[in-house]
C-alpha cells in the first residue's frame, strides 16, 4: 500500500501544481466522517477531499478533486486510502457539443448496468431535441472499492485482498440516447448500448454486451410510470454465450400537499442461473442493510420522502427480496451459509434516514435499518436479523 500511496500522492501533487499555473481559479475542501455500526462490527471513515477548478481558455476548463480517507474496521484497524476523484479537462468546441477527458462520471440511463467514475473520454452532442452521449473508458486505475467491479472469481479474490488497490482491468464503452419528447407526445425515452471487455489476461474471463431502454410515461399531474428493460450477452471461458435479462416497473407520485412529499413503488427483476444470469458491470448493492447485487434477484420496494422544511427531510424505505433462480449464486456474503436450496423468498428490509442541511456547506445524514430473514423462507430459521445504524457528516470549506 505504501508504494501505491506514494504514486497516487505524487500524481495528485503534479495535477494540482500544473493546475495552479492557471488563472481565475477556484478551490475548496470537503471534510467528512461516516461512523457505522452493523452486524459486521464498528467501522468509520474520516475523509479529507480537496478540489480545484479553473478556466483554461475561452471554451476549455479544468476540474480536479481527490480524497484521502482513513478507514477503520474490526480487521484492518486504520487503513489509509488515497484516491483521485473526478478530474477532467472540459471542452466546448461548438454549440451543443461538450467533451470531457480524464476521470469522468458515467452511467447508463437505467442505473443498473454501469455507474460511477471511469478513466477516459466522454462526449455529449445535442441532436435536434435529443442528446447523444458516448463514453470510452479503462477501469484498471480506479480504486477497487469505489469501482465495485466484481464480474469473475478473480475479481472477487482481488476485491477482498487488502494488498490489491486497483480495480479489475476492463475496457468499457457506452452510448446513451436521451429523447425527452417521443413521437411528439409527453412520453420520454432513454436508450443505451454498452460493451465490456476483460483485459486481465486470465482464463476466468468474462466479456459482456448490453442493450437497454427506459420509458417515462406521465399518467396524471405528479404521477409518472417508469418502465425499463435490459439484455445482457455474456461470453465466458467455456460454454456458449449466455443471455441475461433485467426489467423494472415503477411509479413516482408527487403527493399534492403543502409539504414536498414523494411516494415511489418499484419492482425490479433479473435472471439468475449461470447460463442466463444478468451480470451488471458495477456491483451496485440493491439494499441498504441487505446488499446483494442485481443478479438472480427480484426486489419489491416502496419509498416515502418528506421535506419537513428547507433544511430537514426524512425518508422511509420498505423492500422485499426474492431469488429468481435456485441455481443462482448468492452475492450477500453475510447470509451465504444460511441459504436453502429450494426456496425463493429472502426477507424484508426496513430503512429510515434523516437529512439535516442547515446551510449549504454543512450536511448530516442519520440512517438506520434492519433486514428480517424470518419474513422469508429462503434462509435457515437460525439466520440472524441484520441491523445497521450510520451517521454521515460533511463540511465544505
| DSSP-assigned states of every residue in 168-237 | P-EEEEEEEEEESSSTTSS-EEEEEEEEEEE-S--SS-EEEEEEEEEEEEEEETTEEEEEEEEEEEEEES
Give φ, ψ of 305 to 5 degrees: -120, 135
Q: Average pLDDT in the 393-397 region?
A: 93
Q: How confident is the model at residue 277 (pLDDT cuts 50, 70, 90)?
A: confident
Q: How far is CA 332 from CA 38, 63, 73, 239, 284, in A?
A: 14, 37, 19, 26, 12
Reported as a pLDDT band with limits 50, 70 and 90, residue 331 is low
- According to the model, what pLDDT value does residue 100 have? 97
Asked whether the whole model's pTM tops 0.85, one would answer yes
Which residue in 231, 120, 96, 105 sits closest to 170, CA to CA?
120
Cβ(208)–Cβ(225) below 8 Å: no
Mean pLDDT of 194-217: 94
Range in 128-137, 181-190, 295-304 the model is least confident about: 181-190
More confidently predicted of 21 and 127: 127
pLDDT-derived band at 371 (thresholds 50, 70, 90) equals very high
Q: Averaged over 291-304, what is the pLDDT?
A: 93
Q: Which residue has the higher pLDDT, 232 or 240?
A: 232
**29 burial level (CB within 10 Å; 0-12, 13-18, 19+):** exposed
What pLDDT, on the 0 to 100 scale, is given for residue 21? 47
Q: State the pLDDT confidence band at 76, using cuts at 50, 70 and 90.
A: low
Per DSSP, the three-state class of 156 is: helix
- The model's pLDDT over 104-134, given as tens digits with 9 standing for 90+, comes to 999 999 999 999 999 999 999 999 889 999 9
If we measure between CA atoms, which residue out of 295, 347, 353 comes closest to residue 320? 347
Is 13's pLDDT higher than 60?
no
Q: pLDDT-based confidence at 73, cuts 50/70/90?
A: confident
Specify whether the CB–CB gap between 213 and 197 falls below 8 A. Answer: no
What per-residue confidence (pLDDT) applies to 20? 47
Give the whole-number percent of the chain exceeding pLDDT 70: 92
- Whole-number Å distance between alpha carbons of 315 and 218: 24
More confident residue, 57 or 11: 57
242 or 13, which is more confident?
A: 242
Across the range 182-199, mean pLDDT stands at 92
pLDDT confidence band for 326 (50 / 70 / 90): confident
More confident residue, 353 or 41: 353
**pLDDT tens-digit series, residues 160-178:** 898 999 999 999 999 999 9
Considering only residues 98 and 242, tell me which one the structure prediction assigns the higher pLDDT: 98
Chain-wide mean pLDDT for the chain? Answer: 89
Strands 60-73, 115-127: pairing kind: unpaired
Confidence of residue 328 (pLDDT cuts 50, 70, 90): low
More confident residue, 280 or 333: 280
DSSP state of 167: P
Amino acid at each position: 500500500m505504501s508504494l501505491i500511496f506514494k504514486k497516487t500522492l505524487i500524481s495528485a501533487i503534479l495535477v494540482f501544481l500544473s493546475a495552479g499555473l492557471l488563472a481565475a481559479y477556484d478551490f475548496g475542501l470537503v471534510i467528512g466522517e461516516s461512523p457505522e455500526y452493523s452486524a459486521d462490527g464498528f467501522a468509520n471513515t474520516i475523509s479529507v477531499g480537496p478540489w480545484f477548478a479553473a478556466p483554461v481558455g475561452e471554451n476549455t476548463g479544468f476540474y480536479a478533486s481527490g480524497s484521502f480517507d482513513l478507514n477503520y474496521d474490526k480487521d484492518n484497524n486504520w487503513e489509509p486510502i488515497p484516491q483521485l476523484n473526478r478530474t477532467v479537462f472540459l471542452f466546448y468546441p461548438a454549440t451543443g457539443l461538450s467533451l470531457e477527458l480524464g476521470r469522468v462520471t458515467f452511467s447508463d440511463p437505467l442505473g443498473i448496468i454501469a455507474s460511477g467514475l471511469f478513466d477516459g473520454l466522454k462526449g455529449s452532442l445535442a441532436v435536434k431535441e435529443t442528446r447523444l452521449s458516448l463514453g470510452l473508458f479503462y477501469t484498471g486505475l480506479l480504486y477497487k472499492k469505489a469501482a465495485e467491479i466484481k464480474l469473475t472469481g478473480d475479481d472477487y479474490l482481488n476485491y477482498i485482498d487488502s494488498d490489491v488497490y486497483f480495480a479489475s482491468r476492463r475496457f468499457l464503452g457506452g452510448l446513451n440516447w436521451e429523447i425527452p419528447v417521443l413521437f411528439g407526445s409527453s412520453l420520454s425515452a432513454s436508450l443505451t448500448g454498452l460493451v465490456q471487455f476483460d483485459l486481465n489476461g486470465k482464463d476466468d474471463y468474462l466479456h459482456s454486451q448490453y442493450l437497454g431502454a427506459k420509458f417515462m410515461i406521465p399518467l396524471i399531474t405528479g404521477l409518472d410510470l417508469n418502465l425499463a428493460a435490459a439484455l445482457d450477452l455474456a461470453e465466458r471461458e467455456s460454454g456458449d454465450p449466455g443471455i441475461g435479462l433485467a426489467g423494472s416497473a415503477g411509479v413516482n407520485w408527487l403527493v399534492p400537499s403543502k409539504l414536498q412529499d414523494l411516494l415511489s413503488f418499484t419492482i425490479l427483476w433479473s435472471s439468475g442461473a449461470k447460463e442466463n444470469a444478468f451480470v451488471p458491470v458495477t456491483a451496485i448493492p440493491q439494499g441498504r442493510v441487505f446488499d446483494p447485487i442485481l443478479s438472480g434477484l427480484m426486489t419489491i420496494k416502496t419509498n416515502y420522502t418528506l421535506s419537513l422544511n428547507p433544511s430537514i427531510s426524512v425518508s422511509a424505505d420498505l423492500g422485499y427480496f426474492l431469488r429468481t433462480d435456485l441455481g443462482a449464486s448468492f452475492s450477500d456474503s453475510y447470509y451465504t451459509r444460511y441459504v436453502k436450496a429450494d426456496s425463493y423468498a429472502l426477507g424484508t428490509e426496513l430503512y429510515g434516514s434523516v437529512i439535516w442541511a442547515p446551510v449549504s456547506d454543512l450536511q448530516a445524514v442519520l440512517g438506520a435499518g434492519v433486514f428480517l430473514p424470518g419474513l422469508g423462507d429462503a434462509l435457515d430459521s437460525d439466520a440472524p436479523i441484520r441491523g445497521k445504524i450510520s451517521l454521515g457528516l460533511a463540511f465544505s470549506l
